[in-house]
Chain A
Amino acid sequence: MEMQDFIEKFASQLESQDIEVNAETNYVKSEFWDSLTAMVVKVMIDDEFGIDIPVEKLNGFNSIGSLFNYLEENKK
């Protein structure tokens, strides 16, 4: 998967379609991030990468880009 695809998939999990995100977005510190949003992103990651990422780990990245890099390195 390309970074841009992942960014689009990430964005499509968010409640509002108007939210702009990019590789530098610090999603954990963003207005849109809460425990419920984390759950849907977690499911998307499992669907796309076969990785069951714990929520604590998902909350540990400082950008969508660094999350993507981790997932690409560890995908099943």
Chain B
Amino acid sequence: MKSYLKHISVYLPDKNVTNDDITAMFPTWDSAKIFEKVGIKNRHIAGSSEGVADMAVAAIKNLQIETNIDLSQIDYFLLCTQSPDYQIPTTACIVQHRVGLRDSCGAIDINQGCSGYIYGLSLASALVSSGAANNVLLVTADVYSKHIHNTDKGNISLFGDAATASLISSNGKYEIGKFSLGTDGSGYDKLIIKNSGLFSKSKDQDDPENYLFMDGAAVFDFTAKRIPQLIEENLELNRLVKDDIDLFVFHQANTFMLNFLRNRIKIAKNKFLINMENYGNTVSSSIPLAFQDSFDGESKNVMMVGFGVGLSWGAVILFKK
């Protein structure tokens, strides 16, 4: 059985942080050049008491408004997040209750970052294709902003908060093709919050190990090496060539990296989606958020490519019906 991506809804928190706001926070930082290179002007930031469950609920409510869906039709709910409201219990269970999914609906969190939408789609697609589920709700939601130290001007500039809600079903606009997924755990410490789990050491609030650390050069290197290969593999798996793809939707990390990859892989500018200047890097929401404006467009074959924390990567091709 085939599976289809039926709809994408988004939620962006109200608070907006502009480049001027950041410059005011770090007055001695020569930021103008960096802002231009990373291609971000604004990022939405969750409110102080706004969490992942709140944002997931808001994205699902938007999905409901936009599609008129009867939420009791959802039989499986996947919440992709790395900044859940709780480790225990599953944040997806909290959301189930708040939006009123039926109690015979499965609900779990999946912990994945910038490749998370691809992984989430791969699970949703498998559930529908196998007949195990009819209507899968895939939500991405992260509040990385709450895990970045207030002196970390680099990461403050790059990351934004957002949530998306996607519906995957046995009918819909885009047939979901075959997935290529990959992992390299030797790079686990290139994007990490050291004190985010079992081995957390510090009681000192200000310890940098309580906050997000990103080795930008290592992550850049990793994408330069892995992504061209990933695209070749996924094209072959889906029996297509590069020219058959009408639109590439990469994880929207920053425009510098995106343009570098576009050139390296030799993709035409008009086939390469960059839609992040008002959002920043929204982790697993970045692909659906960027693609949402093009969802009703004319692209027949859309390749989605996610990569990042883990280290982890994945790609899939969507075929417009």
Contact = CB atoms under 8 A, between A and B. Distances in A.
Q: Does B bind A?
A: yes
Contact of A39 (B33, B217, B225): B217
Nearest to A56: B217
Contact of A42 (B33, B37, B221): B221
Contacts of B256: 36
Interface in A35-74: 35-36, 38-40, 42-43, 46, 52, 55
B224 A43 contact: yes
Interface in B207-262: 216-217, 220-221, 224-225, 256, 260
19 contacts: A15-B37, A34-B34, A34-B37, A35-B217, A36-B37, A38-B217, A39-B216, A39-B217, A40-B260, A42-B220, A42-B221, A43-B221, A43-B224, A43-B260, A46-B221, A46-B224, A46-B225, A52-B221, A55-B217
Interface of A is mostly: helix
Nearest to A15: B37
Contacts of A40: 260
Contacts of A15: 37
A34 B217 contact: no
A43 B218 CA distance: 10
B257 to A, nearest CB: 8
Contacts of A43: 220-221, 224, 260
Contacts of B33: 34
**Looking at chain B, what size class is its interface with the partner chain?**
10 to 19
Interface string B27-52: 00000011001000000000000000
Contacts of B221: 39, 42-43, 46, 52
A44 to B, nearest CB: 9
**Looking at chain A, what size class is its interface with the partner chain?**
10 to 19
B169 to A, nearest CB: 41
Nearest to B219: A39
B217 A42 contact: yes
Contacts of B216: 35, 39
| Complex A-B, nearest 9 residue pairs according to Cβ-Cβ distance, in ascending order | A39-B220, A43-B224, A55-B217, A36-B256, A39-B217, A36-B37, A40-B260, A43-B221, A42-B217
A38 B37 CA distance: 13
Contacts of A36: 34, 37, 256
Interface string A6-21: 0000000001000000
Contacts of A34: 33-34, 37
B221 to A, nearest CB: 6
Contacts of A38: 217
Contacts of B37: 15, 34, 36
A36 B35 CA distance: 12
A59 B221 CA distance: 16
Nearest to B224: A43
Contacts of B224: 43, 46
A31 B260 CA distance: 20
Interface in B139-161: none
B219 to A, nearest CB: 9
